[in-house]
């Protein structure tokens, strides 16, 4: 699972991860640099592989993992109210998630639904 959040949404994603840590502890997590650092700080029991910060290429690194078939789920809490210098990278990342048909949540409501499904899958496995 890949985890990414824009700055204004990082607190929300950290809270989300804390609340669902028992599900997330069973997942291989990757994240952009700052997002991953914040998650690790709040949830030291989660194993999170951190890539570069988004504006420095982290979104593209995650996109490459998606293209390699190594990501099943992208949770990306986007901030729709701020401009981002690396908007083209963000667009490329979400485009690849659609192209490779992986589950993608861009807000908390959808991410909650994905967690329910992941929990079900973990119970069956
Ligand atoms: O910019 C981002 C997503 O586009 C996130 O990157 P950081 O997690 O490094 O802030």
Q: With a cut of 70, which residues of the chain have pLDDT below it? A: none
pTM, entire model: 0.97
Check which CATH number belongs to the domain holding 68 and give it: 3.40.50.1380
- For residue 109 the two structure tokens come to 């409501």
Please tell me the total count of domains within the chain: 1
d(CA 35, ligand 1 centre) in Å = 6
pLDDT of residue 55: 97
ipTM of the complex: 0.98
* Residue 120 CA to ligand 1 centre (angstroms): 29
Residue 25 is predicted with a pLDDT of 97
Per-residue pLDDT, 114: 98
Alpha-carbon distance 58 to 56, whole Å?
Answer: 6
Q: What's residue 105's pLDDT?
A: 98
pLDDT at residue 97 in the model:
98
Residue ranges making up the domain that contains 26: 2-124
Ligand 1 binding pocket includes 61 (Cβ within 6 Å):
no
């Amino acid at each position: 699972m890949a985890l990414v959040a824009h700055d204004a949404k990082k607190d929300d994603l950290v809270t989300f991860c804390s609340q669902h840590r028992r599900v997330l502890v069973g997942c291989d997590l990757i994240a952009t640099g700052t997002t991953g650092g914040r998650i690790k700080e709040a949830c030291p029991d989660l194993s999170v592989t951190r890539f570069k910060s988004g504006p420095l290429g982290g979104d593209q690194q995650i996109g490459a993992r998606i293209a390699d078939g190594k990501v099943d789920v992208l949770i990306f809490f986007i901030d729709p109210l701020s401009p981002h210098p690396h908007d083209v990278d963000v667009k490329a990342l979400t485009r690849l998630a659609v192209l490779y048909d992986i589950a993608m949540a861009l807000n908390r409501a959808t991410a909650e639904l994905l967690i329910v499904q992941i929990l079900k899958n973990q119970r069956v496995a």
